[in-house]
Structure formats: C-alpha cells, structure tokens
Amino acid sequence: MSGTVLLLSQALIYFGVMAALFRLRHRMGLGAFLCALGVMHFLETYLAAVFFIELPFGLLSPGSTVLFSGKLAIILLFYIREDAETVRQPIYGLLIGNFLMVALVATLRLAGPPVPLPGYNPDLVLIDQMGALMVWGTTLLFIDAIALILLYEKMRSVLRGSVVLRACATLAVILTFDQIFFFIGLRFVTGTPFDALIGGWIAKMGAAAVYSGLIGLYLALFEREARSVAPQAISDVFYKLTYRHKYEELLGKTRYDALTGALTRERFETLGQVILDRNAATRRPVSLALVDVDHFKGINDRYGHVTGDEVLRRVVACLRAEIRTDDLVFRYGGEEFVILWENMPHMAALASAERMRLSLHQTLAREFAAAPTVSIGIATFPDDAHTVRDLVAHADAHLYEAKRQGRDRVVGNHPLAPQHSA
C-alpha cells in the first residue's frame, strides 16, 4: 500500500507542477514549461533502468510509471489546448536534446578512462548502458508522442463525448506499446527480469487512468472556456507534426494573399481563435473590424478589373498605414477584409476605424476617379462574442447596418455618426 501511495503522490506532484507551468504559459511564455518538460529525461531513463519497487502485481519503476507516463500525458494536454504546430516543438526539442547529450558523453568516452580520484570510482559501465538506453528511450519517446496525437485524433470518431475517456484510451494503447519495446531494450542492456514487464504494464495502465483524470480535472477547473483543437484529418496532423515538405510548402503559399499581400482567410481561421484564447487568459479585449469596399462591382464594371485589383492593393496599404505594428489585416473575401486589434476596447476600435475610413477615402480619392469608400462593422471580444466565428457574425451584422444606412460609415455597438472631411 505504501508503494501505491508513493507512486500516486509522485504523479500528483509531477502533474501539479507541470500543469501550473502550462497554465501560466500566456504570462511566463512557454520557455519555463518546455524546459521543465525536458530536463528530467535522463532521470526518467536512469530510474527506469536501475530503480524498481515491488507491488503485489510485480516489479515496476517510478521513472517509467510516473515520470515517463506523466510526460506523455502533459504532451497530450499540450496538444489538446494548443495545436500540432505548437506541440511539435517540444517533441523535436526532446529528440535533439537527448541525442546531443548522448553524443557529448560518447565523445568524452573517446578520451579513455578519467583520472581516478581518491574515494571515487566512476561507473563507466553504467554510463555506457545509460547511453544505449537514452538512444533507445528517446527514439521510443519520439514515436510515442507522434502516435499519441494521431491516435487521439483517430479516437474522436469512437469516443466523441469525453476528453477523459479519449485520453485514457489513447494513453493506455501508447503506454502498452512503450512498455513492450522499452523492456526489450532494458532486457538486452541490463538483463531486467520479466516480472518488470507485467508489473510495469499494470502500473502504466493505472497511470493512464490517473493522468487522464487529472487532464479532465485541469480542463474543467482552469480552461473550461478555452477552445479545443478542432477535428482534423489524420494526414493533416501528421504533416504538421513531422514538418512534411508538402505542408510547409502549402503553408508558405497560402499565408499571404497573392494580390493584396494581406494575410489569407485560412490564416485568419487558424490564428483568430488562438488570439482570442490568449487574450482571454489576460482579460484583454480584442476588437475585430469587417471592412467592405463600397460598390466594388461597379468599379470593376466601369473601370475594369485591372483598376479594381489596384484599388484592393491600395486599400490594404492604407489599412496597414493606419494600424499598429502588431495588428493584423486579412483578406476575408473578394473585397472584404478583417482587422484584428489586440488589447483594443470597443470605443477605441470605433474611433480607430473612423480615422481609417476617412484617411482611406481621402487617399484613394486622389488616386482613382472612382473615389472608393469603405463600410466597416466592429465587434469586440469578449463583450460581443467568445468565439471568432460569433465575433465575425456580430461584426457582419454591424457591417450590414452600415450598408443599410447608406455605406461609407462605421457601425458598432455605439452609434458613431460619419464625419466628412472638408
């Protein structure tokens, strides 16, 4: 019983500290969380190789049962609350860092035995064994992490309703795979008895249940309102996790609109909710402007598509000239654009949009005979909506009202009479 209490206490401490660092990622950045995630791999491998305790169902190692299983659970939590492009960073960081550690130790071993010191006799056999197990364990960790996320996505079609059940099933499968193959390495390198295979597997199944429950508890208590990763095709997740050239090439082509240079709608759909979630943690408002070029079809019909294209290019240039460096401009549709202002209250966004509208019309009136104008609808998170889709719908309703009132104006939650320059 004392052994079980010991393991459970370690699991609670490990998950509690890592979850706290993860929760603080928007304030402290991801660096502290990622460093804490990575520094314990040597300890995990060492304990998994030499430190065992015996419970009624067999031998097991806390390094494997608690620390390694906990690391996979934290990586899964990371994916659930972020995305494949973000979670691949620690996966590859662990792979490269652990191999670098082994390579540096192997280089030192080429120098021959170290100078003996009084009262100390370095265990070079253990160092060599640990190097082999580090290589094997790191390779398995990389495979485990990739497979963990892919299987979690696959489980959506089987276990739709519960993140906890999906996490538990996923962890159980991956930890079973890891237990079998890591034991093969242990047996080959250190001669670990077969009792550790069964005992370790039973313990890891318990770890899968405990950690998935802790994931569910964390999500319910601290990030209930945050958006989970939307369902994705397994192939798309795999491309992102593995830096496949096809995905990176596609991302490079679709990041910016070829005509205007604004960010694409695809990038808006990728970044929009991430930006809202990030600002929700710090309780900062995010305002969204939906900008529509008035009577754009008439400009194309009267002056031609070449002029119409140039109008769109100049609209984006004018919008960029009026926003802050960190604000984002997306091409949302043919002649529709979205602006995202972080840390921008609603009234400030209305005033900024009105200045933008006036400046844009004054500039374009000098450059084009059509003298283009724009209508703008404004909405602000979290007062108007909590999701990016609802925020766009709210701004679109205000844009429709601007058009109904005669165009060339800004509409938000508070009336704003259009100003006219002399």
As a whole-number percent, the residues of the chain with pLDDT over 70 amount to 93
The structure tokens 């393991």 sit at 7
Q: Indicate if 176 and 57 belong to the same structural domain.
A: yes
**Domain's final residue, options 177, 207, 237:** 237
- Tokens standing for residue 157: 């079609």
75/87 Cα distance (integer angstroms): 7
Mean pLDDT of 252-260: 76
Q: Indicate if 204 and 286 belong to the same structural domain.
A: no
Task: For residue 148, tell me if it sits in a domain.
Answer: yes
30/411 Cα distance (integer angstroms): 38
Q: Indicate if 230 and 315 belong to the same structural domain.
A: no
- pLDDT for position 280: 87
Confidence of residue 245 (pLDDT cuts 50, 70, 90): very low
408/370 Cα distance (integer angstroms): 14
Q: Indicate if 349 and 270 belong to the same structural domain.
A: yes
CA angle 335, 389, 78 (to 5 degrees): 125
Sign of the CA dihedral running 316, 321, 324, 325: positive
CA distances for 415 relative to 141, 292, 347, 349, 369, angstroms: 57, 19, 10, 13, 30
Task: For residue 33, tell me if it sits in a domain.
Answer: yes
pLDDT, the chain, mean: 86
Range among 42-46, 72-76, 193-197, 257-261 with highest mean pLDDT value = 72-76
Q: Indicate if 186 and 289 belong to the same structural domain.
A: no
Mean pLDDT of 337-360: 93
Stated length of the chain: 422
Task: For residue 285, tell me if it sits in a domain.
Answer: yes
The structure tokens 């569910």 sit at 216
Task: For residue 135, tell me if it sits in a domain.
Answer: yes
| Helices of type H across 191-304 | 195-222, 234-241, 245-254, 265-282, 296-303
Q: Indicate if 58 and 106 belong to the same structural domain.
A: yes
Number of folded domains that form the chain: 2
| Helices of type H across 30-162 | 31-38, 41-50, 62, 69-81, 84-109, 124-154
**Strands 374-381, 53-55: pairing kind:** unpaired
Q: Indicate if 204 and 267 belong to the same structural domain.
A: no
Query: In this predicted model, what pLDDT tens digit does every residue of 375-387 receive, in sequence order?
Result: 999 999 999 999 9
Least confident span in 37-46, 270-279, 306-315, 368-377: 37-46
Query: In this predicted model, what pLDDT tens digit does every residue of 9-30 receive, in sequence order?
Result: 999 999 999 999 999 987 888 8
- pLDDT for position 254: 60
- pLDDT for position 325: 83
Sign of the CA dihedral running 231, 232, 237, 238: positive
Mean pLDDT of 140-165: 89
**Domain's final residue, options 237, 266, 286:** 237
Q: Indicate if 216 and 323 belong to the same structural domain.
A: no
209/187 Cα distance (integer angstroms): 27
In the predicted model, is pLDDT for residue 48 greater than 90?
no
- pLDDT for position 121: 73
Q: Indicate if 281 and 156 belong to the same structural domain.
A: no
Sign of the CA dihedral running 189, 194, 199, 205: positive
Contacts of 216 (CB under 8 A, 6+ apart): 162, 163, 164, 167
Q: Indicate if 193 and 326 belong to the same structural domain.
A: no
Of residues 274 and 213, the one with the higher pLDDT is 213
Domain of 131? 2-111+124-237
Least confident span in 70-74, 234-238, 332-336: 234-238
Task: For residue 68, tell me if it sits in a domain.
Answer: yes
- Tokens standing for residue 51: 């430190």
Confidence of residue 51 (pLDDT cuts 50, 70, 90): confident
DSSP codes, 358-418: HHHHHHHHHH-TT---EEEEEEEETTT-SSHHHHHHHHHHHHHHHHHTTSSSEESSS--PP
In the chain, how long is the greatest CA-to-CA distance?
93
Task: For residue 116, tell me if it sits in a domain.
Answer: no
In the predicted model, is pLDDT for residue 328 greater than 70?
yes
- Tokens standing for residue 311: 């109008």
At residue 339, the 3 state secondary structure works out as strand
Beta bridge partners of 117: 120
Q: Indicate if 261 and 325 belong to the same structural domain.
A: yes
Least confident span in 134-143, 217-226, 309-318: 217-226
**Domain's final residue, options 184, 209, 237:** 237
pTM, full prediction = 0.59
CA angle 98, 102, 106 (to 5 degrees): 170
Cβ–Cβ < 8 Å for 399, 408: no
198/187 Cα distance (integer angstroms): 13
At residue 160, the 3 state secondary structure works out as coil
- Tokens standing for residue 102: 């082994």
Of residues 341 and 192, the one with the higher pLDDT is 341
Q: Indicate if 312 and 369 belong to the same structural domain.
A: yes
Task: For residue 250, tell me if it sits in a domain.
Answer: no
Mean pLDDT of 330-337: 93
Sign of the CA dihedral running 301, 306, 307, 308: positive
379/69 Cα distance (integer angstroms): 44
Task: For residue 118, tell me if it sits in a domain.
Answer: no
